[in-house]
Structure 1
Amino acid sequence: MSPIYRRLGPLCLAAAALAAAAAPLDEPIKPVPLTLHQDPARAALGKRLFSDARLSSNNAVSCASCHNVAQGGGDARARSAGFRGKLGAVNTPSVLNAALNFRQFWDGRADTLEAQIDMVIRNPVEMGSSWQEIMGKLAADAGYRSGFAAAYRDGLTVANVRNAIASYERTLITPNARFDQYLRGNRNAISEAEQAGYAKFKQYGCVSCHQGVNVGGNMFQKFGVMGDYFASRGGVNDADLGRYMVTHNTDDLHVFKVPSLRNVARTGPYFHDGSAATLEQAIDVMFKFQLGRTGSKQDKAAIILFLNTLNSVPTEQP
């Protein structure tokens, strides 16, 4: 062995081992991008609008009333209250990582965040407002007038208000979950027990619907593949019809957008009807009605350990 190899060989081997340890993993779940590169001025306007109750007809609720960014992006209620206190038809999904969903709402009726914002504004239960009414309020605010004039060539318009809110929402991604660090190559980011939980998540088939960058949010699926969830619950209402209410295709009865599992440990209650108060209850329902399998108490606990590695906070730019 040459003197040079004796001196450099161990260093080369150590460097190779470090590089291998840092190699990204090829898994069904993909890491959240570090940024979606939004215009800071537009996102800052959107952040202000997100918390502005003047978007509702009676100035009673804002987007933030139902989407608490500091607490997982939801409101911890089975169904949220609208501008007159009436409850909505379904559970409020988290706004965190919503930009990574392929459609918006449980029934997928909105293709974009901008379309989702428009539908919430005009919904007779949620905000009950109109763009004519909103633009009158915003135009009377000098801060909004100057802010939009600086951020948009055509200033304060309906399209720009929608875009500003959506720009802010696109900053509400959570790329620094421990599981994302693990996927990017940090093998020590999650424990062996959490890795075992992820293995169970895959082995039982959860990953067939909950995969991709948002651990869901990229497909539709029937609720009750392996059993009649609604009969077990005690009946059906219009909100349970799911995507059928959009397409009127009988194949879409009880079909919903698969929810993202990012921050799922922080965003109960669960399902479109908010019927599962705890993550343990939700997993039991999934095993019975989606997988048709019986999981041991230990395996379910292991999966919950894994799901907790998906928790993170947004890295908003403004």
Structure 2
Amino acid sequence: MRREWDKHHLLNVFCQVIEKGSFSKAARHLDLPNSSVSKAVSQLESHLGKTLLLRTTRALSTTDEGKLVYKRAQALLEGFRSLEEELEELSSAPKGKLRVTFPNTLGRMLFSQICNDFLKSYPDFELELIFTASHLDLIEENIDIAFRTWHTLPDSPFYCVSLLKVKLLFVASPEYLIRCGTPNSLDCLAQHNVLLTRHSVLENSWVQDNGPQYTFTGNLIANNRFHIREAVLAGIGIGMLPSYFCQKDIASGGFVELLPELPREQKTLGALYRVKRESSKKLDTFLRFVEQRLARLELPD
């Protein structure tokens, strides 16, 4: 009985003959004698009981059976190569390339420094960071990890992990509050200059449990929270910003949180990825680093 490893060799030689277009070119690529390549193809045909290649002195063509064997052999050989890579990855220090996508503001505000620190700790990694307002298709765009926020867990075929709870906070500068007064209720807040974003209608309004909905208005609308933050710091109006975006300004005294007693809906910051963490050391290493860094954040309650 022929050993399975021999079958792997025969399939590899057969694929090289087709891809190179001749026995001689395949032999040079594999660093084998022409006779060994010819013998390997004959042995494969004998084992399968089918003619796979039609040979003439001028041309080489593939039979229907040969086309089927080539297609299946490509998948088998690629699977074996992937297995070798996974085994090598498990036995070595984590390294490799990851394509990671973030929402624009979230990525710049929360993840840019985390990724820089990760590369300092793991210099053998390569990160390709994609900041975008769009939800990229993980398969079509070959994305390894997509960081996103959601109110409810998205219906997705991918693996996911929840990382952080995020709330929207009402914030203003001390300058604005001295000039315009401090609102002590939603009714009062609705009379103030509330700076708006175009991300979501829900982020420009407030619904109390079993109560009225408050819709806010202001003299500034922007699709970028960085500009809203700068405008709040400048004393132009009141902002509704995510907790991760406000923590440093609240701690430094640049922002004052308003109506902190209000219950507010939370979003979840999480990650989507295509393969199990335990099957990819590089993926797990990066996610563990992110989890540890996010766990150290001191966000407003």
Give TM class, smaller chain. Answer: under 0.3
TM-score (norm 2): 0.25
Does 1 or 2 have the higher relative contact order (CA < 8 Å, sep 6+)?
1
TM-score (norm 1): 0.24
Larger Rg: 2
Instruction: Name whichever structure is richer in strand by fraction.
Output: 2
